[in-house]
Structure 1
Amino acid sequence: MKLSPPTLVPSILLSLAISHGALSHARGVTRVTIEETGIVRPESDRNDKTLLDACSVFVPTRAQVIRYFAHAVPVPSIVTSHGRYSPCASTGKLTFADGFSGTWILYSDGSARIDWQAGGFVYLLYQPNRWRDPFAPYDQP
């Protein structure tokens, strides 16, 4: 029985892929759109002028976003809320070569969340990103 992408739970597939080493190679990203950059993440104070000014410099390029999602690995949600917290974000949509698609929010600290179009979500991390994080040291070697 062959299952099409919408019938499978993407976050489970990512977990299985990691446990079997399938993510040792870059994952194909076929489409990326960037909707917002340099914004303050929803759970932070979006009226704080200091945050608004600092986050305005977080403007990852399309190439950086593609590289990020091609290499990022699943992590527990605590990574995006406590472990590497940054108030700066960018948002958009993406589609992978395997047909999975969704909306994303990418944080300047190198963590992200994808909400799958088919349902569910996954938290991700890719540390060697190549953008400026106004709340370093996350962008430091």
Structure 2
Amino acid sequence: MSQRYYEDTNLDDELEPLERTPTTDMAIDFFGRDNPTNPAFSDIEAGKRLGVGGALVPGLLKLSWITQYVSDWAGTEGHVKNLRAAYRRPDVADRPLVLGGRVVDKRVEDGKHIVELEVVTLADGQPSTRANVQVELPAKG
């Protein structure tokens, strides 16, 4: 991972897409195997009965992936300052998700170099989670 700097970031820069495949085991492990949660997070048949076609991917798992994706993009000296997410539709385990994003704003605020990103998870090319993330990046000077 390389360090990203404020001066090298431009509006409409695209983050490199990242594909991840959430598995049913990941959903179970995320909540804990002994944690009684909605069975649709760990049971393919329960998810099918709900009409989603399989075990659900926890929204918090996707949120953690978005946070890690942005943190990796920012580098070790960058900091995620704020993240707001909206879940648009459920995702089903064992189907690939693509994380993608772009720079939508950059500014200096109280001496801090802030870059705002729009990040999405895409399933079959359609957004399932949208997030706005503010990142503080170091300046070169």
Q: TM-score, normalised by structure 2?
A: 0.29
Larger radius of gyration: 2
| More RCO (CA 8 Å, sep 6+) | 2
